[in-house]
Chain A
Amino acid sequence: MKAILVRNLRAANDALAATNRDTFARHGILALNLMGSPGAGKTSLLEATLARLSPIPGRCGVIEGDIATTRDGERIAAHGVPVVQLNTDGACHLDASMIAQGLEQLLRDGFRPVPQTGSFLFIENVGNLVCPAEFDLGAHHTVVVYSVTEGPDKPEKYPLAFQKASAVVLTKVDLLPHLGLGQEDFLSTLTTCAPHATVFPVSAWSGTGMDAWCRWLRQQLAPVAAWPGPEA
């Protein structure tokens, strides 16, 4: 006998992602899914970003995803920002259920979102440009962190992550003179491969470009905040 099922195998994850979206909305949280290769500079970008965003308690929370170790979590905690470290024990991506659990723990551990002005939840995904792009976490934005040392061809090689991105942060631009490349070598590929993304060339080390990136982040808070200010 034959049993017809026609079941979407992503349905379970997608349903949890929708639940996450409701939870974010209830708390006035803007969730950003940071994806990038290992060593792209995701944690360094986050450290430099938090230093500029977080004077208000409850403004920022972080979920760190790694296959192993708590190193990234410790780096973030040193900035006085509530952080939860998720270890995937070999899995190559975060999924919606891990985010649900991570957020629950983060709220228990001292993340007090401020619905009036909106709060940031940064989710640093496992270093990988392939698999994380296929799992909806319920985040408002996909941000690809892409370092100039990876070379200008990566958006063509890993199209899915870039096509979904609403922002691409091009990191380590201070190293361009050593690579014999210019920003334009990257920007032309990104225009084609990341059509929905605003591109931010930055150096977390020198601070170049960080103001424009943080301004964009603050602008994204307005739709989730109950009382959006001019620069919430």
Chain B
Amino acid sequence: MHELALVEEMLEVACGAATSHGIRQVRRVHVTVGTLAAYPDAIRFAWDACRGHFPPLGSAHLDIEEVPPRWLCPACESQHTAPAARCPICGALLRLVAGTELRLDYLEGDGEGEAVP
């Protein structure tokens, strides 16, 4: 359910951006998804189910760049990929530095408009 709400927001933002950039038909949308934030397969499923309701995106392909979680130890600067609150090396509190991203990066399509940097 939560991926569905997320995809609806992706589609709304992408639809608004397509209109403001003069893109009639979006071919590709690129997003970055941290795997702690959402389940990429559920996002793909919801995307295919919902894109038909947003005409400029009706046939748009979704590219997902998946970001696995990563923790950084601010004390010894070691990095870790297994969930933990404390550094297994020095015991300091770890900081989560990747894995919660949810970002709409860019879209590509056909239209007369001009790309806005």
- Asked if A159 contacts B85 (CB within 8 A), the reply is yes
Q: Which of B14-36 contact A (CB under 8 A)?
A: 14, 17-18, 21, 23, 31, 36
Q: Is A153 an interface residue (CB 8 A)?
A: no
Chain B residues numbered 61-117 whose CB sits less than 8 Å from any CB in chain A: 83-86, 93, 96, 100, 102-111, 113-117
Judge whether B2 is part of the interface by a CB distance below 8 angstroms: yes
Q: B49: CB under 8 A from chain A?
A: no
The count of residues in chain A whose C-beta lies closer than 8 Å to any C-beta of chain B is: 26
Contacts of A163 in B (CB 8 A): 85, 96
Cα of A10 to Cα of B5 in the assembled complex, Å: 11
B59, chain A: closest CB distance, angstroms = 16
A5 to B28, CA, bound (A): 13
Q: Does the CB pair B17–A5 fall under 8 Å?
A: yes
Q: In this assembly, does B46 line the interface, its C-beta being within 8 Å of a C-beta of chain A?
A: no
8 Å CB contact of A2 from B2, B13, B115: B115
Residues of chain A with a CB closer than 8 A to B96's CB: 163
Within residues 134 to 162 of chain A, which ones have a CB less than 8 A from any CB in chain B?
A: 134, 156, 159-160, 162
Per CB-CB distance, the 7 closest pairs between chain A and chain B, nearest first, are A9-B102, A3-B21, A159-B83, A7-B104, A195-B85, A131-B2, A2-B108
